[in-house]
């Protein structure tokens, strides 16, 4: 049997026998209570009697960034032995930390993504810092704060300054007592500044240093250390920390030993070397480590944090009034709208609210979502190049990862710009969906309900029109409607794509009648159902006065294609929004998205639904939405207990009384052709006085020079607000997110 002695700087004596790599090994841990003479005596006593001796929390060497330095006390202790190899964990720690981070990330994907990491300290934890930085983390070092009590000055602790401070730090530490090099839990004589800890999402390094120098509040922070005792976890839980990742706790699970340090692991590997003369290096240990299967221990300290799948959803102001209504930007209502809208487009993504309380009715899986807003209105997105929006969506994706989300949905016009999410999905590490599959399913279900409410008992005898038929939503709506109604009119400004779509439908649905056109006016009066799904601006996509009595218009576009003023011209026509969705559970949304409580747009619901089902994958991206995806997402919709909300028209729920009134008007118009003709003529005259618009946007005049002074003011304010937003999303907003 192999024997390994572990000498640590605390008190206590414990022994356990384990099986490692098929060999029984007896491990004895003896504490010297910081007494170096006792440590030397123990080494001398066991020299030649055990297979390896490990010094825990008594490093023989120091490493910080590019600097290396032997520790005077530790290296002298190691030299005490003449026969038995003495190790301090430095030979395996970098490798174990890198591997442990990979394994923890596999067990909990995204647990480290884009986090702000404070190394407490970075001394002898280069492997951990490197592994976390590879996962998109921003790493800073608390070594100046921990070892020297330095204030939180700009640049102190940044990787850029590390090469300059590493050597002086090690020069001072090389003769420092072990309790200064590897701090223990307790209260420091001089409290350290809290700002570096508040900046971080994740604290990594030594459990003793974190407990000693971190502030009393570690609200929702993640802690990554080699090991953590029950006492350590209780302390961190009391401070509000969310997760503890103990990288080595699961390496060799055995009763009798409180924890497994890198020094202990290196002692075991040194004892198990096939060639006792092999050097004590990482290369020697590599093959041995490759045979060990382990998974780091990930402990959720706050019960409410465990088992929640997280998503993010991107929104943006539909028009400039949304900017005015934000608490930070209320003052902008006193400035020209054109300038406010133009400057806001350059703002970085902002966290604005949280969706909580969502729970699957089938599995009980809990889901939480973060709402992230861009500053650009649809008009600004169209005026700028596609890359302008892609860049901001990539920033939002990185923010979402940092918050713990594993999938991000693209809301409103962000799913329209460019290639409908394909480029963003390719460039982002997080899963992306446009939400358009469920939008299609919910739209068609809402349209079916609306047509039936308006008195159509047999949908197969009607005719449907899709305006914007060649778009990502319009094309799959057209194909599915053709299967249900078999008489469809497809309208688009892209005639070549219309021809291809017509051929596709005729191949998929033999017997379907498909008419294609570039304008809707001539055929609108023959259709019972009209679906508008365009990205048009500053034009009228549908002349509502031409609709037949009792027609249903389902306006899928966000912002909508049909305005309140246009809808009022024909009170017999029912204009509904695309199907909104009720999420299951006790849903709370902390930001006003313009819908009743618990109700969300179908594109947001798809993102939440995929998180609910554990489908963290790129789902609906690009312009070619498949019918298989639409049908699959609708099955998941039913499985997890989501429901369509009541029909809404122009922001208001449609009651049975509203429908009866519209049906009565429609019946009267159908019964009296002369009355219908007069109604259409009068409506057309009023429509002529309403400026052509779509998405609530009309053609706007260029900004005049007389507003130049305001432009300067807004630009300067925008710069200040941009910095404020960046700071907020880096700290205060993150705190709010995790409450």
Average pLDDT, the chain: 88
| Joined tokens for residue 693 | 């618009």
Strand partners, 314: 372, 410
**pLDDT at position 711:** 47
Give mean pLDDT, residues 642-649.
91
Task: Give percent above pLDDT 90 in the chain.
Answer: 65
CA dist list (Å): 738 to 223, 310, 408: 15, 11, 17
CB of 567 closer than 8 Å to CB of 544: yes
> Largest Cα–Cα distance in the chain?
113
Among 439, 507, 499, 447, smallest CA distance to 474 is for 439
Label residue 240 exposed, middle or buried (CB < 10 Å: 0-12, 13-18, 19+). middle
Query: What confidence category does residue 696 fall into, taking pLDDT thresholds of 50, 70 and 90?
Result: low
Q: What backbone phi and psi angles, to 5 degrees, belong to 104?
A: -65, -40
Residues 504-561 pLDDT 10s = 999 999 999 999 999 998 899 999 999 998 877 767 889 999 999 999 999 988 778 8
Among 486, 86, 491, smallest CA distance to 270 is for 86
CB of 446 closer than 8 Å to CB of 472: no
> How far apart (Å, rounded) are the C-alpha atoms in residues 718 and 438?
36
Task: State whether residue 360 is helix, strand or coil.
Answer: coil
**Distance, CA of 705 to chain centre:** 42
Hunting for tokens 């055990």 — which residue is that?
Answer: 50
* b/e per residue 499-511 (b: at least 16 CB within 10 A): eebbeebeeebee
Q: Is the pTM of this model over 0.75?
A: yes
Residues 147-179 pLDDT 10s = 988 877 666 678 888 888 889 899 999 999 999
CB of 174 closer than 8 Å to CB of 188: no
CB of 596 closer than 8 Å to CB of 645: yes
Among 378, 330, 323, smallest CA distance to 697 is for 378
- Residue 627's contacts (CB-CB under 8 Å, 6 or more residues apart) are 476, 479, 480
Residues 64-96 pLDDT 10s = 988 999 999 999 999 999 999 999 999 999 999
**Distance, CA of 266 to chain centre:** 38
My answer on whether omega of the bond before 194 falls inside 30° of 0, hence cis, is: no
My answer on whether omega of the bond before 16 falls inside 30° of 0, hence cis, is: no
Q: What backbone phi and psi angles, to 5 degrees, belong to 342?
A: -70, -40
Residues 412-467 pLDDT 10s = 888 888 888 899 999 998 999 999 999 999 999 999 999 999 987 677 788 999 99
> How far apart (Å, rounded) are the C-alpha atoms in residues 399 and 352?
12
Which of 584-588's residues contact partners 24+ apart within 8 Å by CB, and which partners?
584/358, 584/359, 584/360, 584/361, 584/640, 584/641, 584/642, 584/643, 585/357, 585/358, 585/359, 585/360, 585/366, 586/357, 586/359, 587/355, 587/356, 587/357, 587/358, 588/354, 588/355, 588/356, 588/357
DSSP 8-state code for residue 728: I
User: What ranges in 557-626 are assigned the alpha helix state H?
Assistant: 564-568, 602-612
Give mean pLDDT, residues 563-588.
92
| Joined tokens for residue 718 | 């925008």
């Amino acid at each position: 049997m192999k024997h390994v002695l572990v000498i640590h700087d605390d008190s206590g004596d414990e022994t356990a026998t384990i099986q490692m790599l098929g060999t029984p090994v007896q491990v004895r841990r003896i504490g010297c209570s910081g007494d170096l003479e006792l440590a030397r005596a123990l080494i001398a006593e066991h020299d030649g009697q055990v297979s390896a001796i490990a010094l825990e929390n008594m490093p023989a060497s120091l490493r910080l960034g590019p600097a290396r330095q032997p520790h005077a006390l530790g290296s002298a202790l190691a030299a005490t032995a003449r026969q038995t190899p003495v190790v301090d964990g430095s030979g395996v720690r970098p490798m174990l930390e890198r591997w442990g981070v990979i394994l923890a990330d596999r067990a909990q994907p995204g647990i480290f993504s884009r986090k702000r990491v404070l190394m407490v300290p970075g001394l002898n934890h280069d492997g951990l810092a490197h592994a976390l930085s590879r996962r998109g983390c921003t790493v800073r070092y608390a070594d100046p704060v921990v070892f020297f009590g330095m204030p939180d000055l700009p640049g102190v602790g940044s990787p850029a300054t590390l090469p300059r401070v590493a050597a002086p730090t090690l020069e001072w530490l090389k003769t420092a007592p072990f309790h200064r090099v590897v701090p223990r839990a307790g209260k420091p004589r001089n409290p350290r500044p809290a700002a570096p800890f508040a900046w971080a999402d994740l604290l990594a390094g030594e459990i003793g240093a974190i407990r000693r120098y971190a502030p009393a509040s570690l609200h929702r922070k993640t802690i990554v250390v080699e090991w953590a005792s029950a006492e350590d976890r209780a302390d961190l839980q009391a401070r509000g920390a969310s997760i503890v990742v103990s990288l080595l706790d699961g390496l060799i699970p055995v009763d009798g030993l409180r924890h497994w340090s890198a020094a202990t692991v290196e002692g075991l590997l040194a004892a198990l070397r096939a060639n006792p003369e092999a050097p004590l290096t990482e290369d020697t240990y590599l093959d041995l480590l490759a045979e060990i299967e382990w998974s780091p221990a990930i402990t959720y300290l706050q019960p409410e944090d465990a088992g929640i799948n997280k998503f993010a959803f991107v929104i943006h102001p539909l028009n400039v009034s949304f900017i005015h209504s934000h608490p930070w930007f209320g003052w902008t209502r006193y400035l020209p709208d054109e300038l406010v809208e133009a400057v806001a487009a350059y703002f970085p993504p902002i966290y604005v609210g949280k969706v909580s309380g969502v729970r699957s009715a089938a599995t009980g899986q809990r889901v939480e979502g973060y709402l992230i807003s861009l500053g650009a209105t649809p008009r600004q997105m169209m005026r700028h190049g596609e890359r302008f929006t892609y860049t901001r969506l990539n920033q939002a994706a990185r923010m979402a990862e940092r918050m713990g989300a594993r999938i991000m949905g693209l809301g409103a016009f962000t799913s329209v710009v460019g290639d409908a999410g394909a480029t963003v999905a390719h460039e982002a590490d997080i899963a992306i969906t446009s939400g358009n599959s469920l939008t299609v399913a919910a739209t068609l279900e809402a349209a079916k309900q609306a047509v039936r409410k308006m008195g159509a008992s047999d949908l197969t005898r009607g005719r449907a029109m899709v305006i914007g038929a060649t778009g990502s939503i319009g094309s799959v709506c057209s194909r599915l409607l053709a299967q249900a109604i078999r008489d469809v009119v497809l309208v688009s400004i892209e005639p070549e794509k219309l021809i291809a779509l017509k051929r596709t439908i005729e191949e998929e649905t033999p017997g379907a009648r498909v008419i294609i056109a570039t304008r809707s006016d001539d055929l609108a009066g023959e259709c019972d159902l009209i679906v508008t799904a365009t990205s048009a601006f500053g034009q009228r996509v549908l002349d509502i006065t031409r609709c037949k009595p009792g027609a249903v218009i389902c306006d899928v576009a966000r912002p909508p294609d049909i305005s309140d003023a246009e809808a009022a011209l024909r009170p017999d026509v029912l204009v509904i929004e695309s199907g909104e969705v009720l999420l299951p559970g006790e849903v709370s949304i902390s930001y006003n998205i313009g819908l009743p409580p618990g109700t969300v747009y179908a594109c947001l619901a798809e993102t939440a639904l995929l998180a609910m089902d554990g489908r963290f994958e790129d789902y609906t991206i690009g312009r070619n939405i498949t019918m298989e995806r639409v049908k699959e997402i609708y099955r998941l919709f039913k499985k997890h207990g989501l429901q369509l909300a009541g029909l809404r028209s122009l922001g208001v729920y449609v009651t049975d009384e509203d429908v009866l009134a519209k049906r009565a008007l429609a019946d009267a118009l159908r019964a009296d052709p002369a009355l219908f003709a007069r109604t259409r003529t009068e409506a057309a005259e009023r429509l002529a006085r309403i400026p052509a618009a779509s998405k609530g946007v009309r053609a706007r005049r260029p900004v005049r020079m007389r507003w130049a002074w305001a432009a300067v003011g807004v630009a300067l304010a925008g710069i200040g607000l941009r910095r404020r937003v960046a700071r907020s999303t880096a700290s205060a907003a993150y705190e709010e997110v995790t409450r």
